[in-house]
Amino acid sequence: MTYKYLLDIALILLSTKIFGLIAKKYRMPQVVGALLAGIILGPALLNVLQETEFLTMVAELGVIVIMFTAGLETDIRELKNAGKTGLLVALIGVLVPLFMGAGLMFLFTTGDFAFDGNVILRNFFVGVVLTATSVSITVEALKEMGKLNTKVGNTILAAAIIDDLLGLIALTVITSFAGANIEIYQVILRIVLFFIVSLVISFLFYRGLKWYINYVNDRDLHRFPIIAIVLCLLMSYIAEEFFGIADIIGAFVAGVVISNTSKAKYIESKIAPLSYLFLSPIFFASIGFKMDIPEMSLFTLFFTMILVLVAIVSKLIGCGLGAKVCGYKFKESLQVGIDMVCRGEVALIVINKGYSLGVINATLFGPVIIMVIVTTLITPILLKLVFARSLTLETSSTLVEKLEEFEEVDKLEDKILVI
């Protein structure tokens, strides 16, 4: 038995904290620092840390807890109100990247990107890669800025969940054409069944927990976080194992259920330190470990720059347009569009799936990895900028109102003196 994993964890926690503080010093979200720590210490640069089975499992637990705490902080009424908007944002935010990605690949069918297989299938698969959204990273950035439980934050959460489901359907369609033994109706049926089962479990658990809270009152409070974590892991397992849906969706559903109980704040106060101190840094660093940049020709680098541009613009147009159609202001639409730009580990999982099925060749790995790195790093930074601008405008407006109040007071004092 080797104990190197202890050293790996120590290095991850130390490096993510150091780089997080550096990012904070330059007014960037600390999650950017954690991502940079993984890239710098990982195979991409210094190769001090590598992905292991243990770190992969802990990282998966990390993203589950992140999404669970996001659910804990969600106002269910706001989430319901954002549901219709989220659906339209996700739908347009999937279709635009899908066709823009496929269109880009239609322009690159020779040279380094010559392909012996089904070219049309390959082109649309790249489009599917661009539909992916890694909400865990942007959720952490929004939480850090205190913008998660807002109108825009709830829209993003709703859109991200629906985006995952639509992306899963799109991936299934492509892989079924590639010869994988999966039918589209099976995927849709699994999604519907998952939400039916989730509603039943959520209702029963909520009623049971409500009774237990009244029975226990304020005694033995330490049991509530344990019960909450059990529900989180159970829902994550059911989602992934029985329905083939991302475990983070199950974790989010569990968080939303707990958020409606009277002990939600207490549970969150006990679970948040576990995420912040241990699980989240390992998850964000592990994303950096996956980003090993291979050697590429000048032509491939040129394609990569265009791919990055398309990846950013397609989500900005798709998701931003969806929000605008639903009546959001330009500033809010821009915030929604930017938040959905991040691809993260989701795009890497999709591209690996395509490679294993022979839909794509190794040439596309380098460009996709660079696209993931750029979108992953740039999204929290852009979010900080657009929300900081919003905050500045709000502060300025408040200051003007205060000045107007003072002016009214001065006028009143002048009248009193005259009398």
Q: Where are the domains of the chain?
A: 59-282+293-418
Alpha-carbon Rg for the chain, nearest whole angstrom, is 23
Burial of 249 (0-12, 13-18, 19+ CB in 10 A): buried
- Phi, psi for residue 393 in degrees, rounded to 5: -65, -40
User: Distances from the Cα of 11 to the Cαs of 1, 39, 71, 120, 274, in angstroms?
Assistant: 20, 13, 30, 45, 18
- What tokens were used for 239? 């989602």
> Smallest Cα–Cα separation from 316: which of 59, 100, 25, 22?
100
* Residue 98 confidence (pLDDT): 93
- What tokens were used for 92? 């347009």
Query: In this structure, are residues 286 and 56 in contact, taking their beta carbons and an 8 Å threshold?
Result: yes
- What tokens were used for 283? 């998850």
Query: In this structure, are residues 18 and 37 in contact, taking their beta carbons and an 8 Å threshold?
Result: yes
* Residue 223 confidence (pLDDT): 87
> Smallest Cα–Cα separation from 294: which of 353, 363, 356, 245?
363
> Smallest Cα–Cα separation from 71: which of 193, 180, 173, 202?
202
**Side chain identity, residue 127:** G
Please state which CATH number belongs to domain 59-282+293-418: 1.20.1530.20
Q: What is the 3-state secondary structure (H, E, C) of the chain?
A: CCCHHHHHHHHHHHHHHHHHHHHHHCCCCHHHHHHHHHHHHCCCCCCCCCCCHHHHHHHHHHHHHHHHHHHHCCCHHHHHHCHHHHHHHHHHHHHHHHHHHHHHHHHCCCHHHCCCCCHHHHHHHHHHHHHCCCHHHHHHHHHHHCCCCCHHHHHHHHHHHHHHHHHHHHHHHHHHHCCCCCCHHHHHHHHHHHHHHHHHHHHHHHHHHHHHHHHHCCCCCCHHHHHHHHHHHHHHHHHHHHHCCCHHHHHHHHHHHHHCCCCHHHHHHHHHHHHHHHHHHHHHHHHHHCCCCCCCCHHHHHHHHHHHHHHHHHHHHHHHHHHHHCCCCHHHHHHHHHHCCCCHHHHHHHHHHHHHHCCCCHHHHHHHHHHHHHHHHHHHHHHHHHHHHHHHHHHHHHHHHHHHHHHHHHHHHHHHHHC
**Side chain identity, residue 97:** P
**Side chain identity, residue 333:** S
* Residue 390 confidence (pLDDT): 56
Report the chain (419 residues): mean pLDDT per 10 consecutive residues: 89 94 81 86 88 91 88 76 83 93 88 77 89 78 79 84 78 68 74 89 90 78 90 93 84 89 90 90 85 77 93 94 90 90 76 77 81 85 77 47 50 45
Q: What angle do CA 283, 360, 113 make, to 5 degrees?
A: 115
> Smallest Cα–Cα separation from 94: which of 181, 191, 4, 167?
167
Residue 371 CA to residue 139 CA, distance in Å, equals 20
* Residue 142 confidence (pLDDT): 80
* Residue 317 confidence (pLDDT): 94
Residue 26 CA to residue 295 CA, distance in Å, equals 31
- What tokens were used for 314? 């397609």
